[in-house]
């Protein structure tokens, strides 16, 4: 098995950080796009759910007001239709299980109550109590919608913290670790090359180094060291 050389280690470390960034960058881009959509998601989903719940409550109040008017039956029928429309719209903007449960309870209780409400006497206390119960259920739904908005906000904050962590690790820590390792490896290699240059100088001073076979080896090593930035020392500078 071939030994892993210092050059191989440096190449690996030099390529590791860019590869990680290449892999993570598309994911980060998608994450930033997702965060850019957070305001519109809140408006289209969470705030819409609150608006529909408020519309349901308003429809109930208008039913109670409408039956005291001359064309009360028509007003009640129209508001019950609006009630059903808002309820159906709210069902398409559910984020939590609590919202689903509260909406289901309201829908189940509303159908028989509103069917009886159309023909009930305005002074029927039993029916009035049932309508108050519906108002209470709508309030609970509104509270669930507001809690869902808080949960969505908390989830967005949590994802933001995770994204910051990923950016710090991939964009700062990994490159800095790779840089530190490359620096450490290059320092070790620098010291070794200086030792080789020093020992080669000693070899050149040996009379046997003038033999043709040895001189070729010494010359090849000298040229290799020169290419790596370790030329033969200048005697004039050395004397100084």
pLDDT band at 137 (very low <50, low <70, confident <90, very high): very high
Q: What is the pLDDT of residue 238?
A: 46
Q: Are 178 and 10 in contact (CB under 8 A)?
A: no
Per-residue pLDDT of 114-134, as tens digits, reads: 888 888 887 888 988 999 999
Q: What is the pLDDT of residue 3?
A: 64
Per-residue pLDDT of 191-237, as tens digits, reads: 877 888 777 777 777 777 677 777 777 778 778 778 777 777 665 54
Q: Are 120 and 131 in contact (CB under 8 A)?
A: no
DSSP of the chain: -----HHHHHHHHHHHHHHHHHHHHHHHHHHHHHHHTHHHHIIIIIHHHHHHHHHHHHHHHHHHHHTTSTTHHHHHHHHHHHHHHHHHHHHTS--SHHHHHHHHHHHHHHHHHHHHHTTS-TT-HHHHHHHHHHHHHHHHHHHHHHHHHHHHHHHHHHHHHHHHHHHHIIIIIHHHHHHHHHHHHHHHHHHHHHHHHHHHHHHHTSGGGGSHHHHHHHHHHHHHHHHTT-PPPPHHHHH-
State mean pLDDT over 136-165.
Answer: 89
pLDDT at 239 over 60: no
CA 123/CA 65 separation, integer angstroms: 13
Counting residues of the chain whose pLDDT is more than 90, the rounded percentage is 24
Q: Are 99 and 56 in contact (CB under 8 A)?
A: no
Q: Which has the closest alpha carbon to 133: 117, 155, 119?
A: 117
What domains does the chain contain, in order, with CATH numbers? 29-171 (1.20.120)
Q: Which residue has the higher pLDDT, 98 or 205?
A: 98
Q: What is the pLDDT of residue 14?
A: 83
Q: What is the pLDDT of residue 185?
A: 82
State mean pLDDT over 149-162.
Answer: 86
Counting residues of the chain whose pLDDT is more than 70, the rounded percentage is 95
CA 24/CA 31 separation, integer angstroms: 10
Per-residue pLDDT of 27-66, as tens digits, reads: 888 877 877 777 777 777 888 889 999 999 999 999 988 8
Q: Are 107 and 87 in contact (CB under 8 A)?
A: yes
Q: What is the pLDDT of residue 156?
A: 84
CA 140/CA 125 separation, integer angstroms: 22
pLDDT at 240 over 50: no
pLDDT at 83 over 80: yes
pLDDT band at 135 (very low <50, low <70, confident <90, very high): very high
CA 13/CA 4 separation, integer angstroms: 13
- How far lies 132's CA from each of 49, 61, 101, 183, in Å? 21, 10, 19, 75
Q: What is the pLDDT of residue 82?
A: 93
State mean pLDDT over 167-188.
Answer: 85
């Amino acid at each position: 098995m071939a030994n892993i050389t210092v050059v191989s280690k440096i190449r690996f470390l030099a390529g590791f950080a860019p590869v990680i960034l290449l892999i993570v960058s598309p994911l980060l881009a998608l994450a930033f796009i997702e965060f850019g959509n957070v305001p519109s998601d809140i408006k289209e989903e969470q705030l819409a759910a609150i608006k529909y719940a408020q519309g349901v409550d308003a429809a109930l109040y208008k039913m109670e007001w409408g039956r005291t008017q001359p064309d009360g039956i028509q007003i009640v029928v129209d508001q019950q239709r609006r009630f059903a429309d808002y309820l159906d719209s709210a069902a398409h903007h559910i984020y939590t299980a609590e919202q689903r449960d509260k909406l289901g309870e309201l829908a189940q209780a509303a159908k028989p109550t509103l069917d009886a409400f159309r023909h009930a006497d305005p002074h029927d206390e039993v029916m009035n109590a049932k309508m108050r119960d519906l108002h209470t259920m709508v309030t609970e739904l509104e509270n669930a919608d507001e809690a869902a908005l808080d949960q969505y906000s908390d989830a967005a904050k949590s994802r933001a913290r995770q994204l910051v962590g990923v950016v710090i690790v991939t964009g700062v820590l990994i490159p800095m670790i790779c840089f530190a390792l490359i620096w450490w490896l290059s320092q070790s290699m620098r010291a070794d090359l200086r030792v080789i240059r020093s020992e080669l100088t000693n070899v050149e001073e040996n009379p046997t180094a003038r033999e043709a076979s040895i001189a070729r080896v010494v010359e090849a090593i000298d040229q290799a060291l020169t290419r790596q930035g370790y030329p033969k020392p200048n005697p004039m500078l050395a004397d100084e």
